[in-house]
Chains A and B, each alone.
Chain A
């Protein structure tokens, strides 16, 4: 799982991407990722250009490339899966450094590594430059069901509280000498999960009642104007448009 708290990715220094409307950034991100996935894997040059494009947007937004690279660790489990493919893939086989590797497996691994990395990098750029509340607000503007964005909002708000609770439970177990090594010693861990559920649920009830007492009727008031100016849409859609152009070129002329 990701880091322990919500603002793990958000960068507080305001850059040029921060003020853009969240709904435009979200649409741009989704279209960009789709264009990346649609790019043929044989076109190595296209992935190079796409990587430069993402790096350029990150730099324009005032993000350091080192920060961006650090976040790519999240896809490590699937990279392991990708490494495994050349060994289990079907024929024909090629010999690389004395190892007989499956050619389709090698293509598959390259495909996953290239597209997965570009997808994560693009998501990191948007997550780093958009506060959580704005992201949720953008989703709402894009007509995601209000219940979903509202649940996500409360989830994000109480994430630190809940994970903090979990950490305290774990410290409490350890300070009583709990150091399980086998699955049949895991009762205390499972009991912690049960306790965490009860505490979360009861906190949910308390929060709900407290909000009702303050006049909550199922909707939260909006404080800011949410329309995205055309300029924002233009800026955010230029990136996926470029990516789509690259994908088209890779399929047709420069194959």
Chain B
């Protein structure tokens, strides 16, 4: 879904460039509080993880396969700000190093795939967590639903861009209907994989899941030699 150059006209691309730059600036500021600059290697490896996970093919039906977009997965695992920042870096590197996605469309792509998926998806995840009981299965379910919704939101965001400055010749409603239809299907796959991946991380390193930090037991101080109250 990387938009190439020339797909959306120049004023719209430039406008979204400003939106993406502003969003990135907020992410940079927020992550500076969250993890100090010295932990940059860690963020770099998260970005490398996102890049790699987008190469992971999963089966869809009858032997066809899709690949993961990873927006909500990243947001749930490392938080929306760092997640959006890392996905933006991935998009930047993809457009510069692999010519994947147009440079003039970088703002459009960052808005759709980093900002909308990470923040839209995380907002859904957060709301669902508020409603659902505070258990691990509800973290997994919330991540899955958020992943489905985020993919559809990204398709809608693309449709808005197309309506504003599309050069396609087809009407925005036609494009919107086709995009949302296709992306509901993609989103179902994304939802299943995201939920299962979050549950896999929760099973072995629950402390690494940003979206489930509230489920971590408080550290308790015990005098030396006293046995644990509950095993």
Contacts and interface: CB of A to CB of B under 8 A. Distances in A.
Contacts of B163: none
Contacts of B198: 194
Interface string A17-35: 0000000001001100110
Contact of A123 (B99, B168, B178): B99
Given A192-B56, A203-B45, A127 B9 contact: no
B97 interface: yes
A51 interface: no
A221 B97 CA distance: 23
Interface stretch (B61-69, B126-134, B149-157, B219-227): B61-69
A186 B59 contact: yes
Contact of A200 (B9, B45, B175, B195): B45
Contacts, number: 305
A75 B205 CA distance: 38
B40 A147 contact: yes
> How many A residues touch the partner, as a band?
35 or more
Interface string A157-192: 111011101100000000000001111111101111
Contacts of A186: 58-59, 189, 192-193, 196
Query: Which label, helix, strand, loop or mixed, suits the secondary structure of the A interface?
Result: helix
B39 interface: yes
Interface in A30-44: 30, 33-34, 36-38, 41
Contacts of A77: 1-2
Given A190-B192, A216-B38, A153 B44 contact: yes
Contacts of B61: 181-183
Interface residues of B, number: 88
A197 B208 contact: yes
A30 B104 contact: yes
Contacts of A181: 59, 61-63
A163 B51 contact: yes
Given A37-B13, A162-B51, A74 B200 contact: no
A1 B100 contact: yes
A241 interface: no
B59 A180 contact: yes
A208 B42 contact: yes
A166 B52 contact: yes
Interface stretch (A54-62, A101-109, A227-235): A101-109
A162 B52 contact: yes
Contact of B196 (A156, A180, A182, A191): A191
Nearest to B88: A148
Interface in B149-199: 166-171, 174-175, 178, 188-189, 192-199
Contacts of A192: 56
Contact of B58 (A190, A216, A217): A190
A212 B38 contact: yes
A196 B59 contact: no
B53 A157 contact: no
A181 B46 CA distance: 29
A133 to B, nearest CB: 12
Given A120-B99, A157-B44, A183 B170 contact: no
A205 to B, nearest CB: 6
Contacts of A63: none
A98 interface: no
A14 interface: no
A115 interface: yes
8 contacts: A103-B169, A155-B45, A180-B59, A186-B189, A197-B73, A208-B39, A208-B41, A208-B42
Closest 9 A/B residue pairs (Cβ): A154-B44, A115-B6, A194-B200, A119-B5, A190-B196, A104-B169, A108-B169, A116-B4, A204-B45
Interface of A: 1-4, 6, 8-9, 26, 29-30, 33-34, 36-38, 41, 71, 74-75, 77-78, 85-86, 88-90, 102-109, 111-112, 114-116, 118-120, 123-124, 126-127, 132, 135, 145-148, 150-159, 161-163, 165-166, 180-187, 189-198, 200-201, 203-205, 207-208, 211-212, 216-218
Interface of B: 1-7, 9-10, 13, 24-25, 28, 31-32, 36-49, 51-63, 67-68, 73, 77, 85-86, 88-90, 92-100, 102-104, 166-171, 174-175, 178, 188-189, 192-201, 203-205, 208
